[in-house]
Amino acid sequence: MRIVILPTKQEVSAFAAEAIAAVINKKSNAVLGLATGGTPLSTYEGLINKHQQGTLSFNKVRTFNLDEYVGLLPTHPQSYRQFMNKQLFNHIDINIQNTHIPECLNSDYEGCSSNYETLISEHGGIDIQLLGLGSNGHIGFNEPTSSLSSKTRIKTLTKKTIENNSRFFDATEFQPSLAITMGIGTILKSKKIILIATGENKKDAVADMIEGSVAAFSPASALQLHSDVVVVLDKLAASKLKLYDYYIQTEQSRKKLN
């Protein structure tokens, strides 16, 4: 696990955008795993800027999102389909048919989940997976106590996750308590993973993920088991790390070698 600590959240987002762009520029038909929420917004802005500057094309790229609420239609303003369209897809040259959200618009939750897993496999797996980090350590909607080998499935959201996401919903709007999400095992099959976390409210989850034991209570700790993970943090999110100075030193040494 490579730990990159940067001064600001803007630099964190720029680093992530560069990493994703590098994968696409090396493999024009790359398969991207994408995240939603507030954390990746600046990363998506960075990718859009690269496209508008003519240095990055998505016309052969395929994407798979981590998760979606159960009970929201794709046209609902709070659906992750609408989020991705608004924040990324509408601003780049991607074929919208090549963008996939784990929607389940009927009651066949098991079938929808299995079909999503199959679709990812049929396209060769995910080349680079972008992750955010929940304040309770979740990745995707894999809440604490999720199986570390889990596949795409329906999950009940914790009260904390529902409260954290309530800011996206009006008081009169229906806010789902269920979501369909890639499993931790699904995420770990990605060839490369980049996780970004910013802000002091993430410091406990970051410390557990990087320096804690691998445990279902900290879903993101499963990333310790992957051979190619880059965790990019701002100083606030990294502030509880015991080996903070060592991670800084390690990155300085990496730059000298390169």
The residues carrying an active-site annotation are 67, 136, 138, 143
CA angle 137, 141, 142 (to 5 degrees): 60
Q: Which distant-in-sequence residues (6+ apart) come within 8 Å of 62 by Cβ? A: 29, 30, 31, 32, 98, 99, 100, 123
Question: What ranges make up the beta strands (E) of the chain?
Answer: 2-6, 31-34, 62-65, 67-69, 99-100, 128-131, 153-156, 178-181, 192-197, 229-234
Residue type, 82: Q
> What's the rounded Cα separation, in Å, for the pair 13 and 37?
13
Backbone phi and psi for residue 218, each to the nearest 5 degrees, phi listed first = -120, 85
Backbone phi and psi for residue 32, each to the nearest 5 degrees, phi listed first = -105, 140
Q: In the block, which residue shows the tokens 């990496």?
A: 254
Listed residue (196, 253, 108, 48) closest to 205, CA to CA: 196
> What's the rounded Cα separation, in Å, for the pair 190 and 183?
12
DSSP letters for 173-232 = S---SEEEE--HHHHHTSSEEEEEE-SGGGHHHHHHHHHS--BTTBGGGGGGG-SSEEEE
